[in-house]
Structure 1
Amino acid sequence: MNRVHVCLVSAQPIPNLIPLRMEELRPEKVILLVSPDMKLQAERLEKIIKGWAIKTEKISIAPYDLESARETCIEVLLRHDNDEIILNATGGTKIMAFAAFEVFREKEKPVVYVDTQNNYIDFLSPERKKLVSRGVMKVPIYLASYGQNIISETNEVDVPDTHWAAVEAIIQEGERLERGISILNRYVAPLRNARTFPFEIDIEDEDFKNVQFQGIVSILSRYGLLTLKENYIQFPSLSSVEFSSGGWLEEHIFKIVKSLNPTDVRMNVKVKWARPSESKNEYDVLLTHSNRLFIIECKTKRFSGKDISHFGEDSIYKLDSLRDAAGGLYGKGMLVSFRRLTDEQKRRLKTNKLEFCEGQNIKNLKEIIKQWIQK
C-alpha cells in the first residue's frame, strides 16, 4: 500500500509542498488536480516534487463545475482504492475544494488543510489533533515554486575573514562615517562594471580631505580592501569593489540572520524567472522561517532631493513587488538603510506593509529581525 497525496493546484504552491516534507505525511506519490489556468504552476510543482524522488501525476479538473469536479475526485479514489490516499484541500478554487472535500469525507478518507499563517496542519476529516508544520522550506525551493531559479549567490565560505572584521569596524563607527560612505559610494558604484583589476580611481581634493571619508577609507585599507595613495585609491578586485559599495551591509545582515537559526538564509542571490518572462532579479538577503520567505533589501546610499522620488519608485516598489511575486500571501519584506529615512519614505514603506530599520537602529538589528520573523 502506497501513501498518495491529492493536491489542488493554485497560485499559492507552498501549502501543497509542506506536507510532502513532513515525515509523518510524506507520500510515495502526488496527484495534482490542475485547472486550465494552473498548468504552468503544476509544471513547477511537478519538477520540485520529482526532485524529492516522489512520483507525480497530473489530472485535469473543472474549476467551476461542482458535479464535474466531484466525478474527477471519485475516479481518483476508485483508481487508488488500495492506497492510503490523503486530500490536501488547501488550494484550488472554492468549487474544487468543496467538491474534493465532500467526496473524500463521504468515502471516509483523510482531508488536511495547511494553515501557513499559524504554522500547523489541520485534519478536517476525520478530526484529530493538529500537526505543527515545522520549517521545511528552503530558499531555492521557495523561489522555484514561484517560477524563479537561482543562477548565482555568494556563499559564506567565499567571504574572507577580513570582511567580517571590516564590517564590525564600520558598524561600530556608525553615523560618524555617514558622509564618508556617501562620498565613497559616489566613486565606487560605477566600478561594479569594471573587469580589469587592480583598478585605480582619482579622488577630488575636497573629498579626499573629508574626515569621514578618510575614516571609511582607513578601515577598508586596514583590512586590505583598498590601497590609499596620494590622490587616488586602488581596488584589488571586483569583490573589494562590491564590498565597499554596500556589500558590507549585506554581509552584516547575513551574519545576523544566520545567528538566529532560520531554516535557510542566502545572500546576493541572482535569479532568472522561468518562462514566459525569463527576466532576472537580484536579492540582497533571503531567508525562510516557519515556511515563509523573508526578503531584506540593503541600502547605504543617501536619498535626498530627486533621489527621494527615485527611491519610492525603485527601492520600495522593487521590494514590494518581489515580496508578492516570490513570497506569496505570507511573504515579508524589510528595508535596511544605513542612512536615516525621510518621513515620506517611512510612510511609503508602512503603506506597503514593509518593515524597515534605519540609521543607528542598525545596532539593534538582530533584535529587530528576530521580532519581525516571529510575528
Structure 2
Amino acid sequence: MKIHVAIVSEQILPNFIPALMERPDWVCLVASPQMSERGLDRRLARLLRQDEIAVEIRKGAPESGLADIHSFAYALAEELEARYPGAEIVLNATGGTKLMALGFVEAFRDLGVRIIYTDTAHRRIECLSDGKDSIPAAKPMDEVLDVPRYLAAQGFRVSVVQSDSPEWQERAAGRKAVCKYLGQHAAQIGDLIGALNALADKALVGGETLVAPHQAFARVPWGNWATALGQLVKAHLLKWQDGSADVEFVDAESATFLHGGWLEELAWHTLQDNGAYDARLGVNGNWETGINSKNEFDVLATQGNQLLFVECKTLRHLEENDNDLAYKVDSLGQDARGLFGATWLVTAREPSLVLRERARQARICHFGPAELPKLREHVRAWLTGAR
C-alpha cells in the first residue's frame, strides 16, 4: 500500500501533481485551521477523489510553534505506522509554512520514509530522502494536468470549451490557412483588420447573431487590402467583388472570426501544431468564490504542468482604457495560473505606449503585429521551458 502525506497550502498543484503521477492508494491531507477555513483542503480532496484516489483530511495542524508542530507530526507518523504496517509512506514536504515543512520532515524522517519536494518552476520532483544514505536524482514531472484539471486546482470550474466541439474543429481547420495569412501580414494590413473588425461589429448583435450581413468600406479596397480580401473570399468567409466597397458576411461564425476570432484561432493552431500537451480555445466557466465569478479565456495551454494564458486583441484601444486592459489580463492570468506559467498579450494592431509599459511592468509578454510571423518560435520556446 502506498500512502501520501501532504501539507495543504494555498498552492494546490505541488500536492496534486505528485499524487497524479504516483497514484497512491490513500492520501492524508494535513490542514491548518487557516487552510480549512478557506476550503483549500476540501478542494484538493475533491480533485483527488475525482481521480479515484482515497483521501482523509487531518484538520487542526499548527502553523507555528515548532514544539506543537513536532507533537502533531510525530503523533500522525506513529498512527500511520501502526494503522498501516509495511505501507510505503511518502511525505510531500512542499506545502504548509516553512516551519511546518521542517517539523514534518524531522518527524517523518525517523520512519525512513521517502520525502519529496515539488519543484514546479523547474518541472521536476526532488527527493529529499528515501530512507537511505544517498539522495536519488530528481525525477522529471509526468504530464498530468490538462487545462480543465489545472483550472480546477486554481478554483475555476470549466463549463464550456468552444474548441472541444468536433464540428468547430472541422470548421477551424478550414480557416487555418487564412489565420496564418492574416498573422503573416498583420503588420502590413493593420488598417484593414481594424476596418473588418468595425464592419463585423455592425453586422452582429451581441457578438453572436448576424443581423446586417451587408456592409461597406469607406473606400474601395485596393493593393494589400484587395489581396487580403481575395484570400477571405477564397476561404468563403465573406463575399466581395474587386473594385467594390461592398462586402457581405456569409454567416455569424465567419463574422465573429473576422471580428477578431482569427487571432485566437491562430494562437490555438500554433500551440496545437507545435505539440502542446493540451490547448483549448474559448474556455468558459465560473470561479468557486467571488461576486463576478464568470470568466472566459481566449486561449489556454498546459505543458510541463504549467499554464499559458493567451489574451488576444485585434482592436486598437484608447490609452485611457489600456490601464484597465492590462490590469484585467494580469489579474486573470495570475488567478488562472498561480505562481508559475506565463501570461501573453497578443495584438493584431500596434498597442499604445501605455499598454506596452503596463504589460512590461506586469511581466506580461506582449507580441504585436510585427511579432506574429514569429509566434511559432515564441511558442516553441515556452513549450521547452526556454522562455
Q: Under a length normalisation based on structure 1, what TM-score does the superposition of the two structures give? A: 0.90
Would you say the 8 A contact 2:113–2:129 is kept in 1?
Answer: yes
The question of 1:54 aligning with 2:66 is answered no
Contact kept, 8 Å, 2:31 with 2:57, in 1: the verdict is yes
The one-character-per-residue Cα deviations of 1:64-84 (angstroms, maximum 9, x if unpaired) are 233333233223223321121
- Rounded to whole Å, the distance in 2 between the matches of 1:80 and 1:277 is 41
How many residues align? The count is 367
Q: 1:146 to 1:194 in 2, by over 3 A?
A: closer
Q: 1:75 to 1:199 in 2, by over 3 A?
A: farther
Q: Secondary structure at the match of 2:189?
A: helix
- Residue pairs, 1:47-196, within 5 angstroms: 47-60=46-59, 61-81=61-81, 82=85, 83-126=87-130, 127-155=135-163, 157=166, 158-159=168-169, 160=171, 161-189=173-201, 191=204, 193=206, 196=209
Please, which of 203, 211, 216 is the counterpart of residue 216 of structure 2? Answer: 203
Equivalence for 1:275: 289
Q: What is the deviation of 1:51?
A: 1.1
| Match for residue 382 of structure 2 among 360, 372, 375 | 372
SS, match of residue 114 in structure 1: strand
- Measure, in 2, the Cα distance between the counterparts of 1:277 and 1:76: 39
Cα distance, 1:132–1:168 mapped onto 2, change above 3 Å = closer
Contact 2:201/2:207 (<8 A) preserved: no
Q: Secondary structure at the match of 1:360?
A: coil
Q: What is the deviation of 1:325?
A: 1.0
Q: Does 2:314 match 1:310? A: no
Q: Which runs of 5+ in 2 are unaligned?
A: none
- Structure 1 distance, partners of 2:176, 2:277, is 22
Shift of 1:211: 5.9
Distance 1:36 1:299, change over 3 A: same
Unaligned runs of 5+ in 1: none
Q: Distance in 1 between matches of 2:209 and 2:138?
A: 59
Counterparts of 1:106 and 1:365 in 2: how far apart (Å)? 52
User: Aligned-pair RMSD on alpha carbons?
Assistant: 2.3
Q: Distance in 2 between matches of 1:262 and 1:166?
A: 22
User: Which SS does the other structure have where 1:4 is aligned?
Assistant: strand
Q: Tell me the equivalent position of 1:17.
A: 16
Asked whether the 8 Å contact 1:46–1:56 carries over to 2, the reply is: yes
Q: What CA distance in whole angstroms lies between the structure 2 residues aligned with 1:278 and 1:16? A: 28
Deviation of 1:207 after TM superposition, in Å, equals 4.4
Report the AA paired with residue 84 of structure 1: E
**Partner amino acid, structure 2, of 1:253:** A
- Whether contact under 8 Å (1:111, 1:123) holds in the other structure is yes
Q: What TM-score do you get using the length of structure 2 for normalisation?
A: 0.87
Q: Percent identity?
A: 28
- Separation in 2 of the partners of 1:110 and 1:103? 12
Deviations 1:89-124 (A, max 9, x none): 101112221221111012222211111112221111
Aligned partner (choices 13, 22, 27) of residue 24 of structure 2:
27
